[in-house]
Amino acid sequence: MRCQYCKGQIGFVRSLLDRKFCSVEHRRRGSLTRAKLAREAMIYGDEELYEEDSKERQAKQRAAKLQAQIIVVLSTVMIGVLAFSAATGGTSGGSLRQKSISLTGELSKSSPLFSQFSEYFKGVVPSSSPVRVHEDFQAGLSGWIGSRDSDWNLENGVMKPGRLKVWKPSLKLADYRMEFEGQIEKSAMSWAFRAPDIKNYYATKIVVKTRGALPSADIVRYSVFNGLERERVRLPLPMSIRPDTLYHVQVSIRGDQFVTKVNGQVVDSWSDGRLKRGGVGFFTERGERSNIHWVDVKEEREGIFGRLFAMGMFIPPTEFMFLAP
């Protein structure tokens, strides 16, 4: 595999930590390049530049369709083989049905392969609908974990965050869209995502850098692992603001790709694959003060065939033959 920034070969040890960049410096530079493309996409109206290369996306779609077709064909063939095997065994329809039911029950209890397949299939085909939750903080902070509740204050119907808290309903999610509205009272407004706990997360903030008649701001983002900040990147916010600006923020988290929009405009696009799951949260650091009006999280899932393709599901014929009489 080769580095996405310099195209050089990624060493074996490095590939265990990062399969896209050959060094920390090249990951930082690559992130800056993606952010530049995001801004160009916003200017020229071509969101393909930051979301995903259109040719690459089309290739993935074609591959997913092909994989789905292969799975359907193989499943049909296997069912035919099983039916033929059962028919040639000279067993009547009624006794065959009873035998199949009995055999399935016995396998579910005694066969590790059957048990593993059942668990695997449950992971591929979700039993529940995608998660969608909304929070306006009117019911208190019982759904949030992290710092003491006294660090957070509800005033005039809006929440003023303190140290990091993570929203429990979002803790186990992987791919989702986070939306919220908030205002900066002093210096910055900060949020987190893919946070399995309060010591590991991705952080982003809008930081006001100049005040006056025409204030300006930066978008800042970084990673936190085991409580230590890493790889901080600071970029100009490509939009005009006012002291009383109400920010509508939307963050799309899909795989290792993250896209941030503020008031409908793309302001940042970057990637990191180290944290696979985790919830959303808010925080303020020393010298900062903000208020959050509401937050909405909607889980985004692939279809069943997309899941099968992504998980590389392929069941050889030999694993089906144990069902034959």
Q: How confident is the model at residue 192 (pLDDT cuts 50, 70, 90)?
A: very high
Q: How far is CA 101 from CA 75, 95, 98, 106, 325, in A?
A: 20, 10, 5, 9, 12
Query: Both 109 and 177 in a single domain?
Result: no
Q: pLDDT (tens digit, 9 = 90+) per residue, 219-240? A: 999 999 999 999 999 999 999 8
Q: Which CATH number fits the domain that encloses residue 192?
A: 2.60.120.560
pTM exceeding the 0.75 threshold for the entire prediction: no
Q: How many CB atoms lie within 10 A of CB 21?
A: 24
Beta-carbon contacts of residue 112 (< 8 Å; ≥ 6 apart): none
Q: What is the CA radius of gyration of the chain?
A: 25
Angle between helices 93-110 and 112-124 in degrees, nearest 10: 90
Average pLDDT over the chain reads 78
Residues 295, 192, single domain; the answer is yes
CB 46 within 8 A of CB 269: no
Tell whether 6 is covered by a domain: no
Least confident of 22-31, 108-117, 182-191: 108-117
Q: Quickly list DSSP for 175-237.
A: SEEEEEEEEEEESEEEEEEEEEETTEEEEEEEEEEE-SSS-EEEEEEEEEETTEEEEEEEEE-
The total number of structural domains in the chain stands at: 3
User: Same domain for 167 and 292?
Assistant: yes
Cβ-contact 281, 42 below 8 angstroms: no
Show the domain range for 289: 132-300
Higher-pLDDT residue of 245, 213: 245
Tokens standing for residue 280? 């959303």
Residues 97-141 pLDDT 10s? 454 445 445 545 555 555 655 555 555 555 568 899 999 999 889
Asked whether residue 190 is assigned to any structural domain, the reply reads: yes
